[in-house]
Structure 1
Amino acid sequence: MKHHYLQLIVLLFFYQLSFSQSDCVEAIVVCGNSGFSGLTVTGIGVQELNNGITCGSSENNTIWLRLDIATTGTLGFTLIPESDDITEDFDFFMFGPNATCNNLGTIQRCSTTNPLATQQANNHTGLNSTETDVSEGPGEDGNSFLSMLDVTAGDTYYLIVDRPVGISNFSIEWTGTAGFFDPPTFDLPTGVTSLDIKKCDVDGTNDDSTPFNLSANTPLITGNQSNVAVTYHITQNDALVGSNAIANTGNFINTQNPQTIYARIENNTTHCFNNSEFIISVNNIEFPVTESAICDNTNGDNDDGNGQAFFNLDQVTQDVFAGNDLNGYDIKYYRNQTDADNNQNPLPQSFYNTVPNMQTVIIKAIKGPCTSTAEIQLIVNPLPQKITGHFFQCDFEDHPDGITVFELQRADGLFTTPNPGITVQYFASMTDVQNNDPLPAFYTNTTNPQPVVVMQTNPQTGCISYSTLVLHGNTDEIQPDIILNACDIQGQENGFTTFDLNDSNIAPVNGQTLAYYNTSDEALLQENPISNTSAFPNPEAYLSFVYARINDGDLDCNIIRRIRLVVNTLPNIVVQSDGNDFVCSNKPDEFITIDAAVLDPFFGDYEYLWEYNGIPFHMNTYSVQVNHPGTYKVTVIKPTGCRKVRTVEVFPSVDATIESIDIQDITFETNTVTVNLTPGSIGNYAYSMDDEFGSFQESNFFDNVAPGIHTVYVKDENGCGTVSRLIAVLGIPQYFTPNGDGIHDFWRIDGVDVVFNKETNVLIFDRFGKFIKEIARHDTGGWDGTFLGQPLPSDDYWYVLNLEDGRIIKGHFALKR
């Protein structure tokens, strides 16, 4: 029989979407002899089976199929439920050969056999060439198969599939020599890959709804086919059963955007049909971006702080469309929607915003028949505030001349404080700005004082302004730095602590006065003296400076001493171990190495003090070897005296002790094994099946275990050893092929040998109950497929398995030759 897969795909798709059918009048026409798959039967429907039902049933949950015979021959089929559960019960009824919905005629085949009641091997049903009966059922009567029909071209039959018990879907495979009519096809012309229709909203109402000419797809669908009709539907179900066709296909107004339309092509004579779908959508012009920003400037108004500037609307368009191709677009801007709707008063190409900082205008884009408008925000971003700052630096040379080194970044705060978030760069002149030639981070001034250009950039907006920084070289007499050291605070470690400035040991004499200042500028000007000299928090992380000014009233001279506040870092160590240090209780002679985990490069110069469970032990090395669980601590001391403590927790571990192994077998490829350990197995374990040196898993559970003899391995991930145990998983082969090729030549129970399950025996029978063979206890050889020395034919054979543990298993297997 021929197969036409397009019809198969369409029907399968609709049935997976809960197809709705009104019994006989909406029966599915079977075309192309294609098999059905994924069908479901739901709903009682109208009880139409009143014509001499011979198998004792009626409609429960049904699907109606109409069979129009195209070629004479035999007609058979096999109905296969998706679920192999024997409780899934399918029945069927067949009427014909000249059946109509008003006159179904005489019932030709009727099967209501229950597969569970008859203890069948499966729940299949249908017509085949080996059966001779034409009716069976209900309940235990019959074997679910009836004889094929002899059919003649031009006959019409109805097949009603009924499911009185169960919820499974099903499939149908057609057999025999008869054939059905071919369905029409969607014969799209060469180069046409889609029936989708896209239009602009041109009906005068901006609601994403507009008329579509669906009929434009009809010649594309029919192609060169004749005697066919094309209809369009809103739902898949309507397209399948051929109901509720769209009437005004030349002027159909969509109700959704996008909307799916379902097309049905049907042969006017055979009523074979095919379905497809396409999308209709209203595609108006979209605006990816709805704002355009520039920086305030002096162009045209000589004012870069008023929030107003000239916008180049061509650039605004590029911003709005994010660089997309605008070929074919006509774009204009308007102050309001009314002007845009009436195409009046378009904005000039260079537009000066009248609303400071941000003004909303209307963009109108036209491409072909499509027109769209949107609000666009024109934003004028402010420039960073302009400032004139002063930077004082002391000249430390023997002959100070005011020419000295400035660390320019120290002046950043003068500009970033009033302008949070900006970036700062320094230039000698505007020419250097234009050449992108900034000053180095440490810059030696060339004149004293010297103004430099400060470029202030807002990274969020890209706006730039220019300020001035005046560099002053201080030539007052300054002595070498006084250095005060402190250690960083553990737990904080950000380079900040407090200093007692009196530790500088500056002692005024003979009427001198002493004061401390935060900056050299303040020391020079004697402004804002420091008051909390005994607990002064350093203002900059790790390295800060304060200035001590000594005034001598008699000689009218002063001395400024710079005090360097140095916060020394603590040792850079991993304070807490990661919990992966273990000693094996079963290996008391093995030691592990733990160390101070110093991340600094010069840890060899450090001092180390170790303790165990709070008691010091005399070790001063970077690492120590231990073999006892507990808490180890090491104090790491840098040459500066700054210290930090690391804690290492050492945990006990041990190799596993297998308490029991649970085996679930004879489950046909779902055998499972669960390894149970004793409570004393305190390690971190991984499990493997049959591969001591291969991959291990975290779970103690194995599924899909093949029948046979296996070795289970349990490995302590902490290195304390691997243990193993031999197990047997019973399995029953479903077939064997005694053909002498050395593969599957014997049928035997897997997992039985001279050690495991040796008391197991098997009794083998043919399908008629005749005793064939016993595989006795202690016999691991199996059955070779013979009886009294003669080979038996290919067939199903039955067994009774008496297991050593008392279980009795019954089933069947196949002998294949």
Structure 2
Amino acid sequence: MKLNIILFLFSTIFCFSQMKIEKVVKYECVSSLPLTLTIFEDPRSNPSYRTLMNDFVNEYPEYDPIYWTMANYVYPTADDAYNNANAYPRDRVARSVSFDISNPANFFLRLEENVFENQRIVIIHFQYNYSIQPSGRNNFEVIGCEIDNENNVYNLDKALFDIYSFNHYYEFSFYQSHQDAILERNPIPDFDWENYTVSNTVNSVYLKVKYLPSYSDSPCSSIFKLLLNTKEFDSYLPDKSYTFCGVPFKINGPFDLNNVYQFSNFEWYHDGVLKSNNFNVNIDAIGEWVVYFDISTGCRSFLTINVTEENGEGYIKNIRSSMSQIIIEPNNANLISGYSLDGIIWQESNVFNNSTDLIFSFYFKNNQGCVFGPFSYDVSNFFTFISPNSDGFNDKWDIRSNLKLEENDYSIQIFDRKGKILTEGKLKDILPWDGKYNNRKLASGTYWYRIFKDSVEVKIGSLVIKNH
């Protein structure tokens, strides 16, 4: 009888000394792995003893907080928690407990039943598994192409490659709204990613990034907003209007000098006929030329080039004349390769000497070898300067005008500022004038002239004499 009682008592003590451990596993997404963990007494902080108790009860609702109390101590092991020994030091000022951790982080708390007799103790084992938040680029700009006036197309596959290159750790999904990304509903089908076509009023998509299950069991995910935009590529082909005069010439396709965008797979068409698959094309006809090309953003675009018939207009800005020269002023001298009076004999210079004609006619030739002309200009002029120093330039004063013609009976007076007549007579006899009075040079200064027809004044003007 005594032996049975001893055995019963030993069995009872062994039963009550067994340690009951309940485990709570949490996953935490962080930007970098922490080295310490702090648990606060203030229930408004997280994690606090209050939030830890809530997490525990959510998984083990049988431990009603009305009947169970969590002690405000944290222990490194289950045995320590059970024996209420070696708790981590408390910071009584900050009302918190901080301790070093690794990944995963393990710590233990003590749960006591709210009874006076036969009190049960439950040890809570918390395990925090930390995972680095999936990285990405918020507000990354996806450049697409316009399809028409209402829709644009974007290559989301290309955008993923630009952001992540060859990343084998993540799985991706696209959504039209942030809420859809959170709830993982209505994903954009992956077969639409390469040519994602939407209204031109849509300016963003949302990318959700998670770890591949084969790489990590972490539930961490990130959501990034990608901006949808289109870009005009007209500026990468600055000249889109050309003229054609019968001599074929080559033009190049679009090119980015800054190497931000790359263009490839060119197709040149004229009147619907494929003319070239190269970067350049031989322009050999007037009309509309279209070049299609792939862009490194992942879409295909096109530009239109208009070629019109060349007529020579726009090359010449002005014609100037001096006493014995005609100067042709081009808008762009680099576009003209030669000038001619008859279209046969050519010169590179735009200046023609020893020309006294009132009507000047000339030809010019552009860089493609096209000849234009004749162009005729009235170069009549009343010059206002004379420098009689025998250097061959402006040594005499003359005019280019029909007034000098033999059949026109005009006369002239030239006088100084005091009104003294220096020379007078028939216009055709007096001009060109050498700037002398009684065969002597006149002083530098301003002089005046009057031209008459049958004693009626028809013109008055001034000229400057500059003697060196």
Q: TM-score of the superposition, structure 1-length normalised?
A: 0.24
With normalisation by structure 2, the TM-score equals 0.37
Structure with bigger RCO (C-alpha 8 Å, 6+ apart)? 2
Say which structure is richer in helix: 2
